Amino acid sequence: MKKTVITAALALSAVLPAGPAQADAGPGAMPNVKGKGLVAAFEALHFDPTVRFKDGLGRGRHVLWPARWKVCEQQPAPGAHMTQLKITLTVVKKNEQCRRR
């Protein structure tokens, strides 16, 4: 069973600069964060504390240092309207390969 890892926004806000983020897909739409570093992806998602992270290698690892991780997959897809959506980013460490699906 794959585990979904939830991290607190406080952990990321300690390493991320404050300020507004620019979303690729326009206001209210899910940006394309696939392939981005986790810090940049979280910024594009406006530091949303409800974003969940899933270990892309299925090991159930927790994201403790966001700068060391990258996004392999995202749910929902880019362009989806973000109102009331659960956002899950599948991540691996930057030196690891994303699994092909």
Residue 91: per-residue pLDDT: 98
Residue 26: per-residue pLDDT: 60
Q: Which stretches of the chain drop beneath a pLDDT of 50?
A: 1-24
Exposure class string for 56-75: b at 16+ Cβ within 10 A, else e: bbeeebebeebeebbbbbbe
Residue 101: per-residue pLDDT: 63
What are the boundaries of each domain within the chain? 18-93
Residue 79: per-residue pLDDT: 92
Count CB-CB contacts under 10 A for residue 8: 9
Residue 65: per-residue pLDDT: 94
Residue 11: per-residue pLDDT: 45
Residue 1: per-residue pLDDT: 41
